[in-house]
Amino acid sequence: MQQRPLGRTGLSVSAICLGTMTWGEQNTEAEGFAQMDLAVDRGVNFFDTAEMYPIPPKAETQGRTETIIGNWFRRTGRRNEIVLASKVVGRTANDWFRGGRPSKLVRADIFDAVEKSLAKLQTDRIDLYQIHFPERPIPWGANPTRVTEPPATLDDETPIEETLAVFDELVKAGKIRHFGLSNESSWGVMRYLAESEKGVGPRVASLQNAYNLVNRTFEVNLAEVCRREAVSLLAYSPLAQGYLSGKYEGGALPDGSRKKLFDRLQRYETPGAAEAFVAYAEVARSFGMEPASFANAFVTHRPFMTSNIVGATTIEQLRMALDSADVRWTDDMQKAVDAIHQRVGNPCP
């Protein structure tokens, strides 16, 4: 498994990152253990989780995923082999994170989150601690293809410099090593970088945004920002929540699928999306590949990619995702993908 630099941190992470958001809901602890065992055996040294997980977020399940990871660390003693990433929620009215009150990116809430995560993860530090989504009101994912009105500004927004100063405290206390963003825009990344250059807090190491065949919005502005500023892209949703695997083709609704269980896939059910899924599945098969393997290989082998965050509910799915690191991505494959993208664009930003 290829290792790639994580921003300017001095750390190297595997080209595949093990996503964990199904553990504790769709997957049992034993299944989570099996996934971690397989991933590490295949050269993965990078796990990504969040205080919110598992998905969908619920009061009765929140934190289970971190607990499963912590129990695996205790069982295996392999904590020091893993670059561990977790996340704190941004602004949310869901009150179960903070014991009965809404959450914001203020000192009390961030410290509360990190202390709880450290306890569940059974570790003394988190290697990469990320803001899961901004506090300010912006479209989910932060990179829409169109907007109907300018982004709102709230009277009680926590200033970015105030939030960043809290992460500085966490680094100095040894509770976290590095700082990252998620679901963030070009403006947001640059504002955090500008404040860190003033000496306010740690430098942004990474950006975790959605990136896949039906959402290449990262390429529009963020690719230049991240390249010039040495901010690593960590891509989530490489299979567009399963749609790029082909499992929903023809209106199929497999048992155990997230769509059947939770019906929360609206981001990938936009006008034009169905046409795009069919087109990408056809081109994958024209190269003799399964659609899921093809879609993962596209993400893993992009020249600006640091790590592709894969998620699976079965060992077979995880093996296929891990195998994408060994695919030889060719110029012909890229040309075929780009031809479809020229026609269908980004239907699922």
Task: Give the active site residues.
Answer: 53
Contact 282, 275 (CB under 8 A): no
Task: With CA atoms as reference, report the closest residue to 93 among 59, 54, 119, 61.
Answer: 59
Distances (CA, A) of 196 to 193, 200, 224, 309: 5, 5, 19, 26
- Cα–Cα distance between 75 and 255 in angstroms, integer? 32
Residues with Cβ within 8 Å of residue 87, at least 6 apart in sequence: 49, 50, 51, 52, 129, 130, 131, 132, 182, 208
Residues with Cβ within 8 Å of residue 133, at least 6 apart in sequence: 89, 90, 140, 182, 183
- Cα–Cα distance between 304 and 68 in angstroms, integer? 31
Q: Is 16 left (phi over 0), alpha (psi -120 to 50) or beta?
A: beta
Q: Is 321 left (phi over 0), alpha (psi -120 to 50) or beta?
A: alpha
Tokens of 343: 């026609």
Residue appearing with tokens 């997957």: 27
